[in-house]
Copies of this chain bind each other. A is one copy, B any other.
């Protein structure tokens, strides 16, 4: 069989020509890239490979930035809480911030652009009763209310790019200049960005792909006075602010934003906050601006005969690929980091681009590539998770990051990547553009909907949080399952109803968060539409604290759908009668042990007809209930595992009344999955584990046969007429 090649990008570095050639050949790579810290030799650039060159738009030009300090990127920051013990209160608002990153903006009048808030009452303090002591970075409140807490929301310049800063601090770069971010919205910066790109494109004839890392606005990443991370939100618009932006916003939207619309009690509108209308307007406003400016840059790239690729991260704010304006950018490609199935789908599902590329973890960095460690283990785990998702919606390319010379020192790893790249190309070659068989269509319902497709429950990209893994597992389970997944916002349901083809709607998250929904559940039009749809046969799965908002005697506003509610202490006087666990059930037929993660306490059944499938001392963690012709399932949480994935798929098919559809293109062994591609008459049986597995395989007719797969093996079979 002819060995496939291509679709793989390697990082390279100086003085590594021969090894690069060897790896290009062994891994079948057809592109080479530099990075923030490595450069490519002239000889390497002449190899038979596309050349990607990292390009920074709004930093890495201190010679310009230093001449225009008034155009440094701005942001709003909130001081710590300061409590008054008398009527005079001195707020040292820079306390806890790093003065190498942050500089208060004294250019624009604090009386106009800053806000002092009495956090005990929520009231804004009249600017007449405070003043700024610029020399001390101090704000003095006169006529403070003793024993109240106050915060100062101040406008500041962010004079050090947070990603470069992180690399600088982590790698001890010493005297290396701090890269100053400048704001594309400002006149000189805007001009400089364009002029420089024209010049750069001319000066870099070897570059085939301009790898934008990224555009204008970095996600919110603030450091403390010791240079340690203080605040990180991968979705945060904190560092897109400026006086110019606020003025343009007012002109465009017809009302002005308060600092508090950005500061948001110090939460800075993280994605866990139910977004306010003002914040959604602001996102829209920034996205429009960014898309229009990016479009111009992409055009220049195209005019020079090169491709434009965007890195999904760093300064990606405003370019969200699932947003309304991304299609206008005319971007050729998006590349992003891939550590599991969910992060793969973030990239591979992106619309409006010619191709997508995933930078597979682990990075070739010393934290993984050190003597005595076997990087193959981590690479295999990641590949198994990513491959599940790849079987549903493949990336067009994969690649790696870090120091190629480091990876080269681990021959077993080099062998394993050779295997990965071959397997990737084999999958891609077979299924690219082929719609895989899906047994079910689900919609994930939260405040963000499509904008944050595959991005729910994420704080910092790829990072594990105790408060999120029990929900993130939903996305991970779905990323490689035979479910078609869409993302709906509450507004979508309210304004457009539920799309006809949805089988099951999922609402999952902690009470009050954007993912559960918070106060939106008081909107009767939302509960009406959902109840009507479920009652007429729809499926609903609630995980954690779905539809939670205490109102009119219910905590879960869809309690009557779910058949369960949470005891808050107010109804302890009410006897709870329904406590028997069902002996067996379709949902739990394959897995008796269910690990629901962090769990939710005090969930109890409301009705006789609620079927309790799992409970412990803390209450119910798994239940199902009929609702009219529809069905619901409640789960306390769903961390990712093969067991939970199977349980979840069974729950989905049950909720959708599709029990009889489950065992089509299905593996009895929970560590295996079957993906069918009917247009090409093929199906794959996949072993998602690192051990040998034997499984019954059910083809499309439901007829079964036995297959044994080696560790991580995929077996491709030909099918005919659904068999």
Contacts and interface: CB of A to CB of B under 8 A. Distances in A.
B628 A459 contact: no
Interface string A563-588: 00001111111110100000000000
B532 A572 contact: no
A193 B524 CA distance: 51
Interface string A119-161: 1111000000000000000000000011111010000000000
Given A85-B628, A146-B528, A146-B532, A573 B268 contact: yes
Contact of A535 (B147, B465, B574): B147
A636 B550 CA distance: 23
A122 B554 CA distance: 11
A122 to B, nearest CB: 5
A550 B512 contact: yes
Tell me how many chains of this kind the complex includes. Answer: 2
Nearest to A221: B573
Interface string A255-288: 0000000000111101011000000000000000
Contact of A573 (B231, B568, B574): B231
A531 interface: yes
A94 to B, nearest CB: 17
A386 B224 CA distance: 54
A524 B83 contact: no
B236 A573 contact: yes
A468 interface: yes
Contacts of A663: none
Contacts of A601: 598
A527 B147 contact: yes
A120 to B, nearest CB: 5
Interface in A462-521: 465-468, 509-510, 512-513
B83 A570 contact: no
Contacts of A535: 85, 147
A553 interface: yes
A545 to B, nearest CB: 10
Contacts of A602: 467
A459 B273 CA distance: 35
Contacts of A628: 85
A232 interface: yes
Contacts of A598: 601
A602 to B, nearest CB: 7
B232 A552 contact: no
A571 B267 contact: yes
A638 B550 CA distance: 27
B552 A117 contact: yes
A111 interface: no
A320 interface: no
Interface in A533-558: 535, 550-554
B573 A459 contact: yes
Nearest to A238: B573
Interface in A337-351: none
B121 A513 contact: no
A572 B120 contact: no
A453 to B, nearest CB: 20
A613 to B, nearest CB: 21
A119 B552 contact: yes
A119 to B, nearest CB: 4
A468 B567 CA distance: 12
Contacts of A120: 524, 527-528, 552
B119 A554 contact: yes
A531 B573 CA distance: 34
A328 to B, nearest CB: 29
B265 A467 contact: no
Contact of A560 (B149, B569, B574): B149
Given A233-B573, A266-B574, A513-B570, 15 more contacts: A85-B535, A119-B554, A120-B528, A145-B524, A146-B528, A147-B528, A147-B531, A147-B532, A232-B573, A270-B572, A459-B572, A467-B567, A467-B602, A510-B569, A512-B550
30 contacts: A83-B560, A85-B535, A119-B553, A122-B552, A145-B528, A146-B532, A147-B527, A147-B528, A148-B528, A149-B560, A220-B573, A231-B573, A233-B573, A265-B553, A266-B574, A267-B553, A267-B570, A267-B571, A270-B571, A270-B572, A272-B572, A467-B567, A467-B572, A467-B602, A468-B572, A512-B568, A512-B569, A513-B568, A513-B570, A598-B601
